[in-house]
Chains A and B, each alone.
Chain A
Amino acid sequence: MFARCSSSLVRPSAQGFRRFQSTLVVAEHNNETLNPITANAVTAAKKLGGDVTVLVAGTKVGPVSEAAAKLDGVKKVLVAEGDAYKGLLAESLTPLILATQEQHKFTHIVAGATAFGKAVLPRIAAKLDVSPVSDIIGVQSADTFVRTIYAGNAIQTVKSKDAVKVITVRGTNFEPTGAAGSAAAIEKAPEGDFVSKTTEFVSQELTKSDRPSLTAAKIIVSGGRGMKSGDNFKMLYDLADKWGAAVGASRAAVDAGYVPNDLQIGQTGKIVAPELYVAIGISGAIQHLAGMKDSKTIVAINKDAEAPIFQVADYGLVADLFKVVPEINEKC
């Protein structure tokens, strides 16, 4: 069981031999809308060269597959609809994707590096007996990718020797693909009994918010331990609403229970790169910086002038956030 396929048989031959590239992008969606990261993943897929196919699996795939078909550069959309895909469990998507791979022989399988992509793609890679490449920030060639290690403190370039490259893509490092003039063909993905016999989706408790999603927001207002309580986050929500911003948090703020987990920005939370990132009461630990230091402009508000956040901030205010944030709220 440990040697599903021998990679030596399918390894590309001589250097410079141009193999036809074809990429499968696994779409992420909620049965209603396509997650924007899919458009970033398509951009990365196009950089790999060759045809781009998007797979949409879910309990309801109509609107999502149409949206995927309209992305520029997508040649084909494969759809798989059924109850098996409730909750998009890795255990039911994996056999579907393996069946799709069996039929189409893609050279690359790609998804966004979200909770969804991170859960599903390594499982597929193991089944194909290939080593996946996580959270890439750049494509150098069809087999050479750039990614970060050590919480973004080093940049690693790796060359994959495997026949099939299984990759997750950091959304913030690839522009989203726009709409095409005409829609791609929509076809059925291979069918089969893909219902998981071991895992069952029970429920989801999603954080409801009218604010933009963290990974897509142009402005993020983020709070840390310095906020002192969940109630004080109201100041940040007010400011965010004025600026049309999303609200994020450091791990300390999440652990203290001020805000829910899904707002966490950092090495182990979300990676964001907005136009403007405003860090309020955040000291700037390595793990937090990993999630936001690619932001275009960083503002830090902290009463500790020695806080490491000031080393990456374009503009800093050394001040008590409880005085300054209300003042900002008042003046804009």
Chain B
Amino acid sequence: MSRVLVGVKRVIDYAVKIRVKPDKSGVVTEGVKHSMNPFDEIAVEEAVKLKEKKIASEVVVVSVGPTQSQEVLRTALAMGADRGIHVEVAGKEFDLLQPIHVSKILAKLAQDEKADLVILGKQAIDDDCNQTAQMTAAVLDWPQATFASKVEKEGDTLKVVREVDGGLETIKTKMPAVVSADLRLNTPRYATLPNIMKAKKKPIKKLAPKDLGVDTTPRIEIVSVEDPPVRQAGSVLPDVDTLLTKLRDGGHIK
């Protein structure tokens, strides 16, 4: 039996077309639909599955962020997590919070909560860093199984299939470990209304980084955030011949 810690992040919904602020300081987040980072939903689902298979005894979800992060914690609780921890970081400080800070917070919580497994999404779709799991593993000095598409427990080890550039790779890793979830790991369940109601009664503990002894001094300065270059509008061609002529003229094909 083991305890699983899952990190979840509240991000702008994946389907939203983001807008860059005119002062180039960031992107507009006020009044924009937010939801749980898609990779984190997969992480939660995997943890809940481990519990259903009686491999995990308890699933603890953690979110670092502003007050609204509690919404994604409630979602995770409705998916089947047992309890939540909200590490509150708001405003300007949150804008400059980076994976290095989050990984230290998660590592401290993994120790405090005596977790045997930490499952995180492979990347947040806002900062696209793909760092937190690896850094959490490093801080804890635990092994890492990144970009996991299959996790199986074999005795006291985990057999993990990883998505790598040329195909797939299988590793075996001892527990405790940190796993980062890739898209193919599972299909997250929808929280049902009764479970959403039940989730309201599940406990969420509130903490601040300083309660955990983590220094959140920014390590970077955001110089600017700008729109990417806009592509020139193209043309719709009438037929295959015209297309092939264009491609031949452009020197793309012979």
Residues in A lying within 8 Å of B, measured CB to CB: 1-2, 7, 87, 89-91, 94, 114-116, 118-127, 129-135, 144, 147-162, 196-207, 215, 219, 243, 251, 254-255, 260-262, 267-268, 270, 275-276, 286-287, 293, 297-299, 305, 310-318, 324, 327-328, 331-332
Contacts and interface: CB of A to CB of B under 8 A. Distances in A.
Given A144-B223, A311-B231, A312-B234, 4 more contacts: A119-B134, A161-B219, A293-B228, A331-B241
Given A118-B146, A156-B224, A123 B243 contact: no
A288 B128 CA distance: 14
Nearest to A219: B252
B: interface residue count bin: 35 or more
Contacts of A131: 98-100, 219-220
B144 A90 contact: yes
Nearest to B213: A2
Contacts of B126: 149-150
Contact of A201 (B171, B218, B225): B171
Contacts of B100: 125-126, 129-132
Nearest to A135: B128
Nearest to A301: B243
10 contacts: A118-B146, A123-B134, A125-B138, A127-B138, A130-B219, A150-B128, A159-B223, A202-B171, A206-B167, A299-B243
Interface in B36-71: 39
Given A2-B108, A134-B128, A261-B168, A150 B159 contact: no
Nearest to B172: A200
Contacts of A251: 183
A150 B32 CA distance: 14
B137 interface: yes
A286 B172 CA distance: 35
B166 A122 contact: no
B93 interface: no
A293 B128 contact: no
A315 B243 CA distance: 7
Given A134-B131, A287-B14, A314-B234, A126 B139 contact: yes
B20 interface: yes
B245 to A, nearest CB: 10
A123 B223 contact: no
A122 B135 contact: yes
Interface in B122-151: 122-123, 125-132, 134-139, 141-147, 149
Contacts of A134: 128-131
Contacts of A89: 171
Contacts of B143: 91, 196, 198-199
A275 B134 contact: no
Given A87-B171, A243-B253, A118 B130 contact: yes
B222 A158 contact: yes
Nearest to B183: A268
B41 to A, nearest CB: 13
